Chains A and B, each alone.
Chain A
Amino acid sequence: MSDDAFPLRDLWMSDTPVDEKEVTSAVGHVLEKDRAARTRDRQVRLFGVLAVALLIPLLVWCAAYGVTPLVRGAYALMAVGCAVLIATEWVYLEWSRQALPGPADARSQLQKTAFMLARQIRLLKTAPLWSSPVFIGVGLIAVWLYQERTHTAAFALCAVALTAWIAAGLRASSTCAKLNDQRLEMEGLLNELQ
């Protein structure tokens, strides 16, 4: 390092010291933010656990004792679909957690985050596919309604299922685009760093 470079360091570090009160309040804010994030995470996990514990057994029961084979098949598909949805959500959250910045060196961290983002993008791209059992199940219930009950109810249910399916697909696709931007940005940063 050349000697004339050190005034730069002195100049850089000549800012005003941080107030002690400010540090105490910053500690409080960080711990509060951590608590809020953990509470939010817990709520998401508990929702998943409750769904596994309540919704899936209910759907399985309906699949076992449904009035016709069509209804039983529909509920079985919905049960499988719910299990797949919950499992996928856990996997997605786990990857998000693994992508969080930690104490690795910057290059390894950027590589890891870009890799995790690529995985999440692949998962989101196939969202309409792995969420399909739930919507197909609802569609089969609509078919049963069409055959055994009113046409209006069947069409309404079909419309709701289709709208929800399209909305889920669009949401996944928009999140996918956002994650892809982040991934490209990460790769750009990685190139800049090398």
Chain B
Amino acid sequence: MSVSALKCSSDWLGSQILAALLEVDSARDYLSVVKGETDYTRQFTRLMEAYSRPMRRLCAIYADRAADREDLFQDIFLAVWRALPAFRGDASVRTWLYRIAHNVALTWRARDRRQQFRERPLENELDAGAEMELRRLALKRAVATLPLGDRTLILLWLEGLSAAEIEEVTGVRAATVAVRLSRIRKALQPNEVMP
């Protein structure tokens, strides 16, 4: 047996034992994470650069306090980091990422029911002056007061996803999405979200 073959089998055996003992997702994932760590880190950083802004917006709708928003933001990207080795590119990166983000956010909401009874301190964020800023915050407040199901749909639409993509993310049929979005949007027309 050659040296490289021996090295391969010892790697494989080591990974199997580690995976069995330490409950890493699977031996293959463990190896790929360890060996390709720098690649994954680079991919992950790129994803974060591209999606930090939409994810911050999403967190602002699901969590009221700044500390909670930061926690949720980190939880979302933690889930993304863990799911990254298994991503094979079957879906677009965008819908894949939004699926994870909304799943984390919805689970987070279910876990911390107190969120629902907190005051919404959005007024504190108002930056005096800019009218656009005032309108944006009013829209944010209007979205944040919607029922959770509607909120999920409108958030995805506001981020530029089509009804078909929203179906991929939420599992709600595209036709239903379109009907519900039309109703939600009527309630959120620009004149309605003026402070």
Contact = CB atoms under 8 A, between A and B. Distances in A.
Given A12-B158, A23-B45, A100-B82, 19 more contacts: A2-B182, A4-B189, A7-B190, A8-B188, A15-B56, A27-B45, A27-B77, A31-B81, A45-B22, A46-B21, A102-B100, A103-B100, A105-B169, A105-B171, A186-B107, A186-B110, A189-B110, A192-B148, A193-B149
A30 to B, nearest CB: 5
Interface of A: 1-2, 4-5, 7-9, 11-15, 17-18, 20, 22-24, 26-27, 29-31, 33-34, 37, 41-42, 45-46, 49, 90, 93-94, 97, 100-110, 113, 181-182, 185-186, 189, 192-194
A27 B44 contact: yes
8 contacts: A11-B193, A26-B52, A34-B81, A42-B22, A109-B107, A189-B106, A189-B110, A193-B172
A163 to B, nearest CB: 31
B139 interface: yes
Contacts of B104: 101
A14 B100 contact: no
Contact of A107 (B107, B109, B171): B171
Contacts of B81: 30-31, 34
B79 interface: yes
A4 B185 CA distance: 10
A12 B57 contact: yes
Name the prevailing secondary structure of the B interface residues. Answer: helix
Nearest to A181: B113
Interface residues of B, number: 60
A8 B185 contact: yes
A41 B23 contact: yes
B52 A113 contact: no
Interface string B18-41: 000111000000000000000001
A11 B149 contact: no
Contacts of B170: 105-107, 193
A2 B185 contact: yes
A135 B107 CA distance: 36
Contact of A26 (B48, B82, B136, B139): B48
Contact of A11 (B113, B139, B182): B139
A15 B45 contact: no
